[in-house]
Each structure stands twice: as structure tokens, then as C-alpha cells.
Structure 1
Amino acid sequence: MGKWFLGNDRPDAYSYNGSTQYTYQYVSGSLFQNSISSDDIHQGDLGDCYLLATLSSLANDKSSYIQKMFIDNGDNTFAVRFYNNGIADYVTVDRYLPTLSNGKATYAGWGGASYSSLSNELWVALVEKAYAQINESGWIGQDNTNSYLTADPNYSRTKSNSTGINGGNEYKVMSQITALDSRITSNATQQDTINLVNSNNLVTFGINAKIFGDQYSGGHALAVTSYNSITNKFHLDNPWGSDDLDLTWQDLIKWSSSGWSYTTV
């Protein structure tokens, strides 16, 4: 009842080493503030770049999909829609989100300085929470736990294992959020990628995280949002909310970690 109808489910929310369980706080603000934008996305202390990069691509090219994900229930809860093999599956979330001791977001940011700020924009954090909840259903391809990140004493950021929704695949999320056909490839050509970007398909790219000096993770997902034919560079939105990249095709190939995920419309 709490997960599907009341929205009072609380997925496990731990730090990477499992030593800290984060506290949930009621977060003020609105589902959306002004227009939907990739600027709304700020990845926090969770390795779900695959999810947030997909949302960033959606915000740039198909923002109506994000609006249609939500039903405002009028009681400070929201039904969030995902797709299981093209069939809609809903989970209900409330405004209680994992919070640091200083009142700021633990995982996906909500924009405001504190959980009490009326300028908070909640949609990214609520999608993330809903994804952590629906993980328990067993069909999203994660670990089937009700968690963002579990207290796993054997977990290490330097290893490939993951818990909760920490670590995943963009092409799976694309179809789970949009019901569109999605694919992954490691051998797309430059022209293939230009065509995908220019046709408003969702495109994300797995890049070697060491380009950012990240010593813990070998891979990081970014949204490929445009191609500049004058500079011959692709623009990649970073779900961190900073450190976007403009890279040539040669740069992309050099720093590739897992290739492209994309939709075909």
C-alpha cells in the first residue's frame, strides 16, 4: 500500500561504504519550476549517471515525456510512470527525500539551498526515488532491492559490483521511461551519431571517467545533445550539473568506455 498507493515508502539510502544511513526530510517546493531543463539535473552521492543522463537527454529533446511521467495526486504525493516491456507500471512517491545533515540533497539535487526552500524543483529527485522503489519489483535489471544504495559491507566503488540503483545501463532506462525502442552500440560511425542527434533521438555516451580525474569509476554517462558542424564537435551534457564537454569525434573515440545508447524514432 505504501509503495503503490500512499507514497510513504522509504528506500534504503546509505553512503558508499555503508557506514551512514541518510535521513529522510519533507522537501518543500514544486514539481516543476518554470520550464523543464537539463540544468535541473545535479547528480549527487549515487552512481546513477545512466539514469540522470537519460533524463538530461529527455529534457533537451522530449520534455513532454517527463511531464507525462507524473500524476499529481493533490495530497503531496505523485504517481510516476515507467514502462515494463511497453506496459505502464506506476509507483507513488511523496516529498520525503534523503537529506544530508545540512539540509541539502544527498542524491539527485532539487536546486534549493535546503529541504525547506520554496524554490526547490523536485522532478529529478522524485524520478530517482521512484526508480529506487520500483527496483524491488524485479524487472528493471538492477538488484531487486528497495534501495538507492544498500549497506553492503563488501561494496567498493573501485569494483564493478553495484547495489540498489547504483550503476546501470542507459538504453534500458530509455525504454523504461519512454517505451521507445532503444539500443546500444560500440561501433556507430560519426555520421550515424550526427544523424541520431539531429533527428532528436535520445543519445547518451559512455565515457571514461578518468577524463574528469575520477579515480573510482571507469565509466560515466553523458547526454549527447547537439553537433556543431562548424567546430565539428559534439556537445555532451554532464549530469553532475557542471563539466559539460565539447568533443570532436576523435576525442569521443579516444575516451569511449561503453559506446552509445540511443532511441530510434
Structure 2
Amino acid sequence: MVFRGFDAAKLTALAGDLDTLAGQSGRLHTQLASVLTSAQQNLPAGQNASRDPDLQDLVGDVIPMPSFFGGRRRLPGSLGGELGDMQSSMKRRIKQLEGAQELADRGYPVSDSSIFLDEKPADGKKVDDALRHLQELQGKDFGTNGNRDDLEKVSGELDGLTAAEMDALVSKASPKDLAFYNQLVSCTDDSGWNPFDENGLPEDKRRATLGGMLSKISPENFGKFQAAFPGMQPDVTNTGAWEQGGNNQNGQTNNGIHWQTPTDPLFVDGVSADDVNQRQFGDCWYVASLAGLAQKDPKFLQEGIKQNPNGTVSVRVWDKDGNYQWVTMTPDLPTDKNGSPITTYGSGESWPAYYEKAFAIAYSDDGDGERGYGGVEGDDPKKSAPYLTGKEGEDLTTGGFLGIGEHEDKSLDGLKKAFDSGKVVTVSTPADEKLDKDHPQEWGNTYCTNHAYYVRGFTADGKVILGNPWGTSGYPPITVSQEQFNKYFGGAEAFDVP
């Protein structure tokens, strides 16, 4: 079989040759070690049989121990394991190549990226069955109990497809079939004549199925997938950055917004609060919480994001009902016409942008109005905690953690107590624009009204050090006394670190 220029028979023969060579490596190891040992014995003291340290290590290793006893960890004895692993990988990929040929024979488009995937070989019948069941949803009578059981059956089939199988299905399915499936799984309302039926899929199950589909398809199908499942890409046209051309608080502007995939990696040197730089979206309440969490538990955030083999990115979030899930998204981000990011970003690293994008996707399902990036602009910082950690946030200035009954009582001692106990603490400024001009000069442009900050620490004399989620570059942390806090800041919130 020759498929796309790859000859399966010749590749199989090559894998067999590698397997034979692997079996001979132990004898070669012994022979070479014997020659080097003999040479060493006949050389004057202080001279080595070889100038190569790897070969010199073979002296005396005439009867090498097997690798599982700690031996043969160097060439040529180690070739047994290395060549064995290589030929095993080749044989798996040859099977995948044969599965790709079967898909093509059944009339499925096969992406080049699917040909040598290191996964189970594609099963054309599984794709046939899943596609047929997807198409049969059109015009189906779901009975008196709703459509959830039918949808769970289909989603179970989809979850079980390999990447090559999933890509073939999405390639062959019509946009109408995919869009109708999205319509069914997204609508969980009861029918008018039976209030007890079950329809659609709960958000966490829906997100798992759709995210699994997106994480497996080839990049060539991203556009088709997003058109059928628009909820997988957050809206950007309802933001101030789109409507007003920028962020009127920090003065950043853009000359037009479009989607573009960054070339920066997720991480450069782990996670730090200093990586978080809010740009043109007005979601400081979320970004301040993200920066505060990055300061308190960077490992938690780093473990909560991953890049999939097809380039998509998955971020761990919790939904409004406290359900844990991974939100999977395409790698493109909102940028201006010059390709500069307008979303929350790091210094040469992109992880904050994907956390923000995942939040815009998940929060759009909150049922409180707008969707996407516009839906996360302007809210209470404590509302971000359940999405970041699955834990509820609390108001420190209305009797929560501090036991204080009056909103005006904003004790820095109480903030410090919460911060020292391990909580992420955020504070907000009032919507009083007069304070933008009437604040301590040393704060510079770091201070802004109607804005959220996160606590970075405290001075020895009890003052609080606040970080601006706009980033430390150009907006250094400010130190605030109790008197200043009472005048220039309003509420304070906190949430537990996982």
C-alpha cells in the first residue's frame, strides 16, 4: 500500500531491520568492550584505550548487565532499547497510515496532519456510525423525555473517536448537521408541554464534548468548527476596545481588531504576577484576581493550562454551578492590525491571554446578559473567584472575613489578616473621577478610579502595597496608608487559594 507517497510495506521492512539490529546490539556491545579492554591492558599506565569518554566507559564491561539492572545505559548496548522503541513507534504509525487509507477509501477527506499520528489506527466504521447518528438527529422525534439521552449517546460516540477519526467526521459532516447538533446540545429548556423532560447537555458535559472535538481536528477545520459552534469563540465586537478603539482608562488604543495566532510560547519562565498585563478590555476585576492568584499559587495556574497537539489551548475553569471543566479554544487572539495583542498578555508569553479568553467563553454562559469579552467587562472582583478556583469570593468590608458591619470601616489590619492567611485579596476604587486628579503625586498614573487592584504585600509599618493589573511596566506598585485607603479606595474582596 502506497498512500500519499508512503510505502507501508517498505516502512514495515525497515522497522523489521531495526528490530533485528536491536537484538544484535548486546553482542556488539560485548565485542567492542572486549577489544577496548584488551587494548587498555596492553597500554602503559595512565593511557586510555579511547579518547571518547563514551567508548572508554566500555572498558571492563565485557559482560554487561541488562538495562533493567542498571546496565547497558550507553552505546552500543543501549541501542537495544533505542532501536526497539523506534521500530515500535514506526509500526504504530504504519498502522495509522493504513487506517488513514481506509478513511480515504470510504470517501472521507484526510488531512496530512492525520497520517502519522501516534494513536490507534482509524476505524472507518466508527466514523460512519458516528456521522450517521449525527445526521439522524435531523427530524428525529425525541419523545416525551426530551433529547438528552439521544444527545448523550452521540456525544459518547464523539468522545471515543481518535484525532484522525474526528477530523474525518468534521470534514465530511455538513455545516447544517454540525450547527443543528450545536443547537440541540445548547438548549436545555423544558418543552412547553412537558416541564419534566430533559433537553440539551449540561454545560460541563457540553463543554467536554465540544472541547474534545476541537482539540482533535486539524487546523484546516477550525473555521468550519467555529462557524457551527460559535460559542467556542468569544465575541469581541461588544467591547469598548472595539466600539471606542481602545481602553479609555489606561489610554491604550488600536487601529482595528482582528484575530491572529501569536508566536509567543505559553510560558517563558513559569508564572508570575508580573506576567499579567491588562490591555484594552475592561475586565480589571478578573485580571486583578488572576494576578493575585499568580502571586499566591503560580504552580496552580501553570498546571491549569495546556497546549494540545493540534495547536488548540485548554484552560481549567469552573462554571457558575461549580462544575470543573477544561475550556478548549483555538489559538488565535484579538490583536490590532499590526499584530500587537490587545488582550491581557505577558512579556513574551501568552498564558494570561488564554486564561482571559477561557473566562470570556465560560462566563458568557452565566446567563446574565452579554456574551464574550464584552460580557466580562465591568463587574465585582469576588465574582471571578468561582471561575478561577471553584471557591466563592467574599467581601472583606461588609462583615465577611473581618466581622465588620459597616462598609466604611476598611481596616488594613483586616486585609493583612486575610492576605497572611493565604488568601488572594483585591481592592477597588470608587467611580469618582475627581479622585483621578486629587490623589498622592507619588502614585503617578498607577492610580485610577473605577478600577481593581490586587494586594502584593504590606510594609513593616502596616501600609498596603497594591499592584495594578495593567502591569508593573509603567505602573509600579503603590504604597497606601490607612488614611489614604479610606479616602481613595472602596471595597475589598478575598478568596482562598486551592
TM-score scaled by structure 1? Answer: 0.79
1:108-257 equivalences under 5 Å are: 108-111=344-347, 120-138=348-366, 142-145=368-371, 147-149=372-374, 164-186=375-397, 187=407, 188-208=410-430, 210=433, 211-212=435-436, 218-230=449-461, 232-241=462-471, 242-257=475-490
Residue 62 of structure 1 deviates from its aligned partner by 1.3
Contact 2:425–2:492 at 8 Å: present in 1 too?
yes
* Greater helix fraction, Structure 1 or Structure 2: 2
Residue 218 of structure 1 deviates from its aligned partner by 4.4
Match of 2:322 among 81, 86, 99: 86
Output the CA distance in 2 between the equivalents of 1:10 and 1:83: 18
Alpha-carbon displacement from aligned partner over 1:35-81 (angstroms, at most 9, x marks no partner): 21111111111111011100110111111221232133222112112
Residue 148 of structure 1 deviates from its aligned partner by 1.2
Q: Give 5+ residue unaligned stretches, structure 2.
A: 1-181, 183-206, 216-221, 223-231, 246-255, 398-406, 438-444
Residue 143 of structure 1 deviates from its aligned partner by 2.5
Larger radius of gyration: 2
Q: CA RMSD in A?
A: 2.5
Q: Equivalent residue of 1:82, what SS?
A: strand
Residue 13 of structure 1 deviates from its aligned partner by 1.6
Output the CA distance in 2 between the equivalents of 1:133 and 1:176: 11
Contact 2:261–2:333 at 8 Å: present in 1 too?
yes
Output the CA distance in 2 between the equivalents of 1:33 and 1:94: 21
User: AA paired with 2:325?
Assistant: D
Tell me what 2:93 maps to.
none
Match of 2:343 among 101, 107, 131: 107
Q: Equivalent residue of 2:485, what SS?
A: helix
Tell me what 1:155 maps to.
none
Contact 1:11–1:129 at 8 Å: present in 2 too?
yes
Tell me what 2:264 maps to.
29
Residue 208 of structure 1 deviates from its aligned partner by 3.5
Residue 19 of structure 1 deviates from its aligned partner by 6.5
Q: Equivalent residue of 1:148, what SS?
A: helix
Contact 1:11–1:148 at 8 Å: present in 2 too?
yes
Contact 2:314–2:326 at 8 Å: present in 1 too?
yes
Task: Name the CA shift for 1:138/1:264 in 2 (closer, same or farther; >3 Å).
Answer: closer
Percentage of pairs with the same residue:
25
Output the CA distance in 2 between the equivalents of 1:190 and 1:71: 38
Output the CA distance in 1 between the equivalents of 2:295 and 2:495: 14
* Greater strand fraction, Structure 1 or Structure 2: 1
Structure 1 residue ranges, 4+ long, deviating more than 6 angstroms after superposition = none
Alpha-carbon displacement from aligned partner over 1:148-201 (angstroms, at most 9, x marks no partner): 13xxxxxxxxxxxxxx21112211111221123420133453321111112221
Output the CA distance in 2 between the equivalents of 1:89 and 1:40: 24
User: AA paired with 2:467?
Assistant: D
Output the CA distance in 2 between the equivalents of 1:71 and 1:40: 17
Q: Is residue 262 of structure 1 aligned with residue 494 of structure 2?
A: yes
Q: Give 5+ residue unaligned stretches, structure 1.
A: 112-119, 150-163
Q: Equivalent residue of 2:316, what SS?
A: strand
TM-score scaled by structure 2? Answer: 0.44
Residue 132 of structure 1 deviates from its aligned partner by 1.3
Q: Equivalent residue of 2:281, what SS?
A: coil
